[in-house]
């Protein structure tokens, strides 16, 4: 009589299930009928996708297909978080965990979280404008949050930045103090997940409900995210060409952006885009980079990059410029040789574009999906400006695999001379011109009685270098716990592969060592949108989900341009 509101066949089914449950093999019965029913924990062997059931429980409920024996069915994994007087079934979201295959309900119990929430916790949405909290559980306790969202907060590195952000006085807060002119702006890096790639790799998204994967559902979410974060510069990866042409470009132009786009050279129709607010910048030059070279067997992949030179519009010197680069390097964990060569080609183009008349570089920002993890040789090369790759296996370059399958050792040199890029990651013609200019100066300064020094040709070196001293906007680990930050999360992995690197001003290097005075001024990091942990993401069923429609999170940072 307690559950008399349920149809008779469902009452019988419930009794059968409850008869056979034990401790961990139980069913959740704690949410309103209007919630969609989903299977708990991992999918049983017979289910390859989530099985949503209509909100009209009595009319449309049906038993899921099962093709094993009743004993096998009894031994499937069920969870009962609470048995309440609600007489309604709700099976929480499935969790496909990348490492250890740990069910979401188990993770919640281990970290002390509770599935239940009060109506009061779900109603107060007034504080959503301050973009985010590192933990969904903490956020729901303190402020309340929309169910299914993960909040991220803004981390400030100077009080003035915080004041300006709260005032939201964009465009009018540029100021100059003493001998330094300042210009503040924000930059976003975001891999928006090409629809073609999503459909070609559907096995990565089995944890998602099918309707959340349609482009018609995803694009409005992505656009809304871009609107809310309101960055002055967008660096987007996996931008599908037909979507860019028909809706992405026009939508962003309506928000005040000018868009530059470079499509991949192969058959996969996506690419990289850099979009900037015309109210903040004007375009000096746009320079696409193709990593495919028909005459070089090593470079047979169709990845691309894009390098823009932008001029700020506010209170800056007439020759002030900022170089913005965007790329998406090869994914294949076993081809570190290709990744390093693609990176060298991008750095050579940046060196060419950002070069000033006095030999220094204008401030540089490099965004993208580098398909490499923090601490890997490729990552260290970007940050430290040098890499000795002698004896390094190609499968270890990106650090994507704990037990790399690519065991072949990198050749010395990695790329052939006809690529035209030196081991210093600059175009060799430029390097020759610099050496000739330096030689002429030396010749002029040399006394007549000085004996000429003959320099032997340089033998192949296993040391790569670049001229930029770059810092990372993100630290990649939470300082209090040491838990890794995550920028991408799907059924197979949850790691950091997306970055924003920048050339730090001299007074911004206390926390980011290694910058040297090879730049005309520099950039000061004012703040960043905090990242989250893998555990945080699985509380909302990973990525993509109802509110985050890519398998990557957007990265966002605020900078101040300092000219000297």
DSSP class of residue 153?
P
At 434 the pLDDT is 61
d(CA 424, CA 361): 15
Greatest Cα-to-Cα distance within the chain, rounded to the nearest angstrom = 112
* Tens digits of residue pLDDT in 461-478: 999 999 999 999 999 999
Provide mean pLDDT across the span 247-272: 97
d(CA 550, CA 222): 8
For tokens 């002698």, name the residue. 390
- In this prediction the pTM is 0.71
**DSSP one-letter string for 506-559:** GGG-SSSTT--S-BSSEEEEEEEE--B-HHHHHTTTSSS-SS--SSBPPEEEEE
**DSSP one-letter string for 187-209:** EEEEE---HHHHHHTGGGGTTS-
Higher pLDDT, 485 or 46: 485
For domain 186-400+409-427+462-507+519-563, give the fold: Deoxyribonuclease I; Chain A (3.60.10)
At 150 the pLDDT is 87
518 is written with which tokens?
């090879």
**DSSP one-letter string for 366-430:** EEEE-S--TTSHHHHHHHHSEEE-TT-BGGGSS---SS-S--PBPPSSSS-GGG-B-TTSSBHHH
* Tens digits of residue pLDDT in 492-524: 999 999 999 999 988 664 444 333 445 567 999
How many Cα atoms sit within 13 Å of 529 on the Cβ side? 26
d(CA 409, CA 546): 44
3-state secondary structure (DSSP) of residue 301 = coil
* Tens digits of residue pLDDT in 419-464: 999 999 999 986 666 666 655 555 555 455 544 444 444 567 999 9
Tell me how far apart the terminal alpha carbons of the chain are, to the nearest angstrom.
81
At 88 the pLDDT is 38
- Beta carbons of 315 and 181 less than 8 angstroms apart: yes
Q: What average pLDDT is seen over the chain?
A: 77
- Beta carbons of 493 and 522 less than 8 angstroms apart: no
β-strands 364-369, 322-328: how paired?
parallel
Please report, for the chain, the start and end positions of each structural domain, with discontinuous segments joined by +: 186-400+409-427+462-507+519-563
CA distances from residue 228 to 132, 258, 278, 368 in whole angstroms, order as listed:
12, 18, 18, 21
* Tens digits of residue pLDDT in 329-387: 999 999 999 999 999 999 999 999 999 999 999 999 999 999 999 999 999 999 999 99
């Amino acid at each position: 009589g307690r559950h008399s509101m349920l149809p008779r066949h469902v009452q019988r089914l419930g009794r059968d299930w409850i008869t056979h449950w034990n401790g961990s093999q139980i069913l959740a019965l704690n949410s309103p009928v209007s919630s969609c029913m989903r299977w708990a924990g991992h999918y049983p062997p017979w289910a390859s996708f989530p099985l949503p059931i209509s909100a009209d429980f009595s009319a449309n409920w049906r038993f899921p297909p099962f093709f094993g024996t009743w004993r096998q069915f009894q031994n499937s994994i069920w969870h009962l978080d609470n048995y309440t007087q609600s007489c309604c079934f709700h099976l929480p979201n499935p969790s496909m965990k990348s490492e250890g295959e740990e069910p979401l309900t188990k993770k919640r119990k281990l970290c002390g979280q509770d599935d239940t929430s009060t109506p009061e916790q779900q109603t107060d949405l007034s504080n959503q404008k301050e973009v985010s909290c590192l933990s969904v559980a903490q956020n729901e306790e303190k402020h309340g949050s929309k169910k299914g969202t993960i909040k991220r907060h803004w981390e400030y590195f100077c009080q003035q930045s915080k004041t300006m952000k709260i005032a939201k006085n964009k465009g009018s807060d540029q100021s100059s103090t003493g001998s330094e002119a300042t210009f503040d702006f924000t930059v976003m890096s975001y891999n928006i997940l090409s629809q073609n790639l999503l459909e070609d790799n559907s096995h990565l998204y089995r944890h998602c409900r099918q309707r959340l994967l349609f482009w018609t559902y995803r694009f409005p979410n992505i656009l809304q995210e871009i609107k809310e974060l309101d960055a002055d510069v967008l660096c987007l990866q996996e931008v599908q060409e037909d979507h860019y042409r028909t809706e992405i470009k026009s939508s962003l132009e309506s928000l005040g952006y000018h868009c530059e786009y470079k499509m991949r050279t192969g058959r996969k129709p996506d690419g990289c885009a850099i979009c900037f607010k015309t109210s903040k910048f004007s375009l000096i030059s746009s320079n696409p980079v193709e990593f495919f070279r028909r005459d070089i067997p090593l470079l047979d992949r169709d990845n691309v990059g894009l390098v823009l030179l932008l001029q700020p519009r506010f209170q800056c010197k007439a020759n002030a410029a900022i170089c913005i680069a965007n790329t998406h390097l090869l994914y294949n964990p076993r081809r570190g040789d290709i990744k390093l060569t693609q990176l060298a080609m991008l750095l050579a183009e940046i060196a060419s574009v950002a070069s000033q008349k006095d030999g220094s570089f204008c401030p540089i920002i490099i965004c993208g999906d580098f398909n490499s993890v923090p601490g890997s040789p490729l990552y260290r090369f970007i940050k430290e400006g040098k890499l000795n790759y002698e004896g390094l296996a190609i499968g270890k370059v990106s650090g994507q695999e704990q037990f790399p399958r690519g065991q072949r050792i990198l050749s010395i040199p990695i790329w052939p001379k006809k690529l035209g890029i030196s081991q210093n990651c600059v175009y060799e013609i430029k390097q020759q011109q610099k050496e000739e200019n330096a030689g002429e100066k030396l010749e002029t300064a040399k006394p007549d009685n000085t004996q000429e020094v003959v320099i032997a040709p340089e033998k192949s070196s296993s040391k790569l270098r670049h001229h930029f001293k770059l810092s990372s906007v993100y630290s990649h680990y939470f300082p209090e716990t040491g838990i890794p930050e995550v920028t991408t999360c799907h059924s197979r992995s949850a790691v950091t592969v997306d970055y924003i690197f920048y050339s730090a001003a001299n007074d911004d290097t206390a926390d980011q060592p290694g910058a040297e005075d090879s730049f005309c001024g520099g950039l000061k990091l004012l703040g960043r949108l905090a990242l989250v942990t893998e555990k945080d993401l699985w509380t909302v069923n990973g990525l993509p989900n109802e509110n985050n429609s890519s398998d990557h999170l957007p990265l966002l940072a605020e900078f101040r341009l300092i000219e000297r």
